[in-house]
Amino acid sequence: MGHAHCMLRRDVMRADVDILLVSTYDTDGAGKFTHQLADTLFRLGYSSQVVCLRKRSNDPNTIGILDASPVHKLLYRLNEEVDRRIINPDPGYAFIHMRALSEKTALRSDAWPGHCRLIICTFLSGMLSPASLTTLREKYGHPPVLFYGVDMNLYTGGCHYSQECTGYTQNCNGCPAVPKIIQKKVQKDFEGKISCFDKIKPLMAVASSHEQYEQMSQSSLFKNADISKILMFVDSNVFGRHESIRNDLKIKYGFKRRVILTRSSSEPRKGCDLFVGVIAKIAKEMPSFIDEISIISVGDQYIANQLRGVVKNIFSPGYISDEDELSKMYTVSDIFLMSSIADSGPVMLAQSLMSGTPVISTDVGLARDLIFPGSNGKIVKNKKDMELEIITYLRKTDAELDEIRLKTRMLALNQLAENVYIDKLGGLINKILNTEVKRISYK
C-alpha cells in the first residue's frame, strides 16, 4: 500500500497518506459523510486525511485551509456576506457559494499532505476552483480522482438542487438561480469544470442514489465517466437498538398512541409546507383523529410555528446532535414523513428505516432506492396521497405495525448495513489503487 511509516495512524497530519479527502465542510451533512468515509477507509486499511475550508469538528485528522490565517478567514466571511446580499441567489436552488478560494490561498496552505495515491472529492463548492484542483493533482503527480456525490453541486454550475432546470446537461447557460448579470459567470465556471474534468483520465464518480446516478450521467461533466452507485450505510448498533423498550419510551416522553416524525426546515426544497398543509387538512376534517396523534418535528421551529393552534400535541426539540437520542425519536415514531421537493437523501430517511420505522415519502432521493411499497412505507405523488397514507398507516393495529417494523428493519439491514457498504466501497477503492487489503476492526 505504500507509505508504511504513516499506515493507519489517524492522528498524523501533513504526512504522506494513501487517500486525500477534500470537503468544503467538516460538520453538518457533507462533513459527517466525509468523516464516515474516512473511518471506512481506515477500516479498509488505508490512511487518509481530510482537508476542509474551516475546521469546526474535533476530528484530529481534519485540517482547515483557512485555520492558520485569521485574515483570510475574515476576508472569506466578508466575501460570503457580500455575495449573499448583492447577488442574492434564489434560495430554492441552494446556490450557496458564488466563488472559490483563489489558487494562491488554497494551495499555499500547509494543510495538504506530503503525498497521496488517490484524491476523493465530496464537496468542493466555495473551496477549490477547477484550476486549484488541476494544480493540486500536478503537485501529487496526477493521482486518480474519485468524485463522490453528496448532492448536485459536483455536477452543476453551482446550485445544489436544480429543481426543473436541466442546464447542467449542457453548459449552464442562463442559470435561473442567479440574476442575469451573474449568469455568464456561472456558465464560465461550469465550462471551467468541464475543462478540468476532461483532463482527468479515467474520470470516476460515485452516486449515492439512483436519482443521483441518473442526474450525474446526464451532466456534461460526467457523461463519459465511470459512475458507480453505492448507497450510504447506517449504524445498525445505534439506530434500532431501543426497539425492545419502544412502548416504555412512548410513555416516558408522554406521546400519544400514534406518533409521526418529520424533519422541520424553512428551506423551500424540504417541502415542509406540504406536510403542514396535509396535517392542517386532517385536523380540520378529522379533529378527533388528529387529537390522538403526537408529532415530533426535528430541526428548526418552522413546522411547530406553522401548526401552532392547529394541532395540540407537537414536540419540537430542535436539532438533535446526539445519535442515541435521535435513535429514540425514530423508535417511538410509527411513521417518518419525508416531504422534500428536492433532496439527495435525506439521511433521516435511511436512519428511520434502519430503526424499523416505515417511511411515507415524496418521490425524491433515496426513497426510490429504499422504499418498497407494502413492506416498509410508501412513495406518494401528491398531497392527497400523502393524507391517505398517513391515515391508513396510523389506523393499523399494534400487531400490524409491529410486523411492518420487523420487515422494515430486515430490509434496511440488507441494504444499509455497514458490511454491505464496506464491501462495495472497498471493492472500488482496491480496484482503483490495484491493492488488496484486510479490514481493520476497532470496535
CATH number at residue 384: 3.40.50.2000
Three-state DSSP string of 273-293: HHHHHHHHHHHHHCHHHHHCE
261: cell is: 416524525
Residue 350 covered by a domain? yes
- What integer is the mean pLDDT of 25-39? 88
**Do 150 and 215 lie in a common domain?**
yes
Q: Are residue 264 and residue 119 in the same domain, yes or no?
A: no
pLDDT digits (tens, 9 = 90+) for 121-140: 998 889 999 999 999 999 99
Please tell me the total count of domains within the chain. Answer: 2
CATH number of the domain bearing residue 103: 3.40.50
Residues 199 and 271 grouped into a single domain: no
Q: Are residues 275 and 390 in the same domain?
A: yes
Give the predicted TM-score (pTM) of the model: 0.86
Question: Does 341 share its domain with 208?
Answer: no
The answer as to whether 170 is a domain residue is yes
Which of the two residues, 295 and 97, has the higher pLDDT score? 295
Would residue 439 count as lying in a domain? no
Domain shared by 224 and 288, yes or no: no
Domain with 354, as residue range(s), is: 243-416
Together in a domain, 221 and 251? no
Q: Give per-residue pLDDT as tens, 54-113.
A: 999 999 989 999 998 888 889 888 888 888 888 888 888 888 888 899 999 999 878 899
Strand-by-strand arrangement of the 204-207 sheet: 62-64, 48-52, 19-23, 118-123, 145-148, 204-207, 226-229
Residue 238 lies in a domain: no
